[in-house]
Chains A and B, each alone.
Chain A
């Protein structure tokens, strides 16, 4: 499905944003957009769902806090309680004030690292992975909008995209080609 695509290149972010709105209003399907920098409001214009990474980060933070509590409770209270500088070590509750720094640090450690790892996995980013931006200029100053041809007329669609301000338009026959 959707083997034929049109790549429309724009040279300006405002133009792109306007083109996205026009293209969506004309009921064409935008399958992907590559931009050199985060264009403010583009995800909204495309109707993308908000990302849930922040929620995962919160959950990871809770995991980190739990790990810290369980670890220190086991090591300092259960396994081998010691009298260190007269700090009470009989219950977790009594000894807890000195555990707060590490509870905090491990919360941050888990929340930060696991969220970033999740981000890399979800966006498929890791060493030796091949970049998939179809045009190398999209990391520099060009904006590429990929529109599905589907059953639309290629000529009409191209003309339409020209009118939205695209500076270059190319027809991509098969996704595997690039």
Chain B
């Protein structure tokens, strides 16, 4: 059917001879199976890091923010660095699921689920930092515009910090429902596939009773599309607003009009780097190499290259403008000669090397399609983007307008512990997710199987674009016409010849057998055998090569099937066991 046509030049997105059943089975396998040893090892390490971070958070809250390395000049340091870093990482998921949905990019389907999970988990980590930074996190609800006991003391709607509250909570909650709505059919698949009553119950609850009615699917697709339309400006707004935290101030280096687009590009850059880091491991551990292919990795590398390029242009602009302004204060900002040669030279060069020099290698196709190198580059970008935020925040404010208050920032073990703790927390969540959630949007992947699956691409290459895509699913080779319109018993002479050797069925004296017990005979095949006049094991057991060939001529959909499965042998056993 030509409606499945896709340009042959596009590489397949689903490799191997996959059918719809195979996709369900492959996606359900990590959930239905048991965790292996390496999962437990990584999970334990992540859990320990998380607990350490939790200890640091408890220590901070019970003692005070003074346990951090902040001083009178540097009032924001690792906490806000980590906050911006995590929010940035949380940008790839919604970009993949929303923006790429609007652009109808089929490759997003294999990676969107995990990217969105990563988004949600990263935003959770990000949200922790401002809350801890409040010092009294139990009063966090004060950021909400609710009537209170202090007279008419409302929150300040002029402040970008309050915009952050609205932007991030909207982003987190919209991403969550987007993710969950997409998960319903996949939870339902696991619910109906699992044999354990406990899992059946849990996934029954999680799937909200999804049944897959045609009207539900129609609404599902509409909701996904509208949510994508809403989430696209939303994802751009979130990091724009985060950048306002800095851009609306009057601190040299922060007060920069290019911050919003530059931050958004940087966020997508770091988010995709984190997606690469996680998926390159996950495709290996969960045996999903046929779904998350080298093509997906290359596409993501191209996004990294693009956004990395935007970020680099922004760096150059910042550097140029600060030099061109001729203002002495600007010579100490994070992208300036002063920063490159000053006490924070290492942070400056870490930024340049990690975010500009190393990603440039991805211009070379060979490196872009090299999994190990991609993984290394992704890790380096993660580090580089942390340094970008560190430089913007710490390097810019260590040298303020008053020379006497110039200072350096020293993190304490609490700063470091809290950061490591959030990484641990992130991985704890992601590892639990990888074991309990369908990590690929299998329902969506099934919709592109016929257009972008390797098997069907080969089929079209061999038999032309108008070839029927129907029978190929059963594992048997293709027929040119759909089964439905075909007259099964086409040649009476052949049928007579077939029945002459294996014997005709006499309903008066014989009883028909359940031919489906023969391995290789399904309901369709049984139906067709009945139409020919084959009803008993006895008849089947008398079949030889000649009869097999005749059968193939009469029923053309399953050539060689009967012989391959040795129906006669099977029928003989079944007959004797009767």
Contacts and interface: CB of A to CB of B under 8 A. Distances in A.
B450 to A, nearest CB: 8
Interface string B457-476: 00000000000111101100
Contacts of B3: 40-41
Contacts of B444: 37
A46 B466 CA distance: 24
A51 B166 contact: no
Interface residues of A, number: 78
B237 A104 contact: yes
Nearest to B214: A33
B167 interface: yes
A33 B216 CA distance: 10
A27 interface: no
A113 B174 contact: yes
A53 interface: yes
**Interface centre among A53, A102, A140, by most B CB within 10 Å?**
A140
A109 B238 CA distance: 13
B551 interface: no
A172 interface: no
Interface string B201-218: 000111111111111111
Given A11-B473, A139-B212, A167-B524, A105 B218 contact: no
B218 A79 contact: no
B264 to A, nearest CB: 14
B123 to A, nearest CB: 14
Contacts of B155: 75
Interface residues of B, number: 82
A38 B214 CA distance: 8
Interface stretch (B184-192, B305-313, B562-570): B184-192
Contacts of B20: 36-37, 140-141
The listed residue with most A CB atoms (<10 A of its CB), out of B207, B210, B217, is B217
Contact of B189 (A80, A102, A129, A140): A140
Interface string A100-128: 01101110110111011001101111111
Contacts of B174: 108-109, 112-113
Nearest to B164: A101
A108 B191 CA distance: 32
A80 B219 CA distance: 44
Given A111-B230, A131-B211, A167-B523, A141 B181 contact: no
Contacts of B215: 43, 48, 51, 123
B163 interface: yes
Interface in B269-321: none
Given A38-B220, A119-B223, A125 B184 contact: yes
A71 B145 contact: yes
Contacts of A140: 20-21, 24, 189, 192-193
A9 to B, nearest CB: 8
A32 B213 contact: yes
A74 B378 CA distance: 48
A123 B469 CA distance: 31
A6 B214 CA distance: 17
A147 interface: no
A71 to B, nearest CB: 7
A40 B450 CA distance: 12
Interface string B1-31: 1010000000000000001110010000000
Nearest to B441: A37
B446 interface: yes
Consensus secondary structure, chain B interface: helix
B214 A48 contact: yes
A85 B158 contact: yes
A133 interface: yes
Contacts of B158: 76, 84-85, 87, 95, 98
A11 to B, nearest CB: 6
B177 interface: yes
B498 to A, nearest CB: 21
A1 interface: no
Given A15-B483, A57-B226, A119-B219, A138 B184 contact: no
B210 A125 contact: yes
B156 interface: yes
Given A38-B447, A43-B214, A165 B237 contact: no
A123 B217 CA distance: 10
A63 interface: no
Nearest to B473: A12
B233 A104 contact: yes
Given A112-B227, A141-B19, A162-B527, A38 B443 contact: yes
A70 B215 CA distance: 37
A173 interface: no
Interface in A15-38: 15, 18-19, 22, 32-38
Contacts of B138: none
A50 B215 CA distance: 9
Given A46-B214, A48-B215, A101-B241, A14 B233 contact: no
A64 B426 CA distance: 32
B468 A14 contact: yes
Contacts of A13: 450
A79 B152 contact: yes
B226 A108 contact: no
B151 to A, nearest CB: 8
Nearest to A141: B20
Contact of A72 (B21, B157, B219): B157
A159 B209 CA distance: 33
A51 B222 contact: yes
Contacts of B469: 12, 14
Contacts of B157: 72, 75-76, 98-99, 102
B191 to A, nearest CB: 7
B1 to A, nearest CB: 6
A155 interface: no
B482 interface: yes
Most buried by B among A19, A35, A108, A163: A108
Given A36-B189, A113-B174, A129-B209, A22 B447 contact: no
A122 B214 contact: no
Given A84-B156, A131-B211, A136 B192 contact: yes
B427 to A, nearest CB: 28
A139 B226 contact: no
Nearest to A100: B163
Shortest 4 CB-CB contacts between residues of A and residues of B: A129-B209, A141-B20, A136-B192, A80-B152
Given A53-B226, A105-B237, A130-B204, 7 more contacts: A32-B214, A80-B153, A102-B157, A108-B231, A125-B209, A133-B192, A164-B484
11 contacts: A39-B447, A51-B215, A76-B158, A105-B237, A106-B166, A111-B226, A112-B177, A119-B181, A119-B223, A136-B192, A141-B446
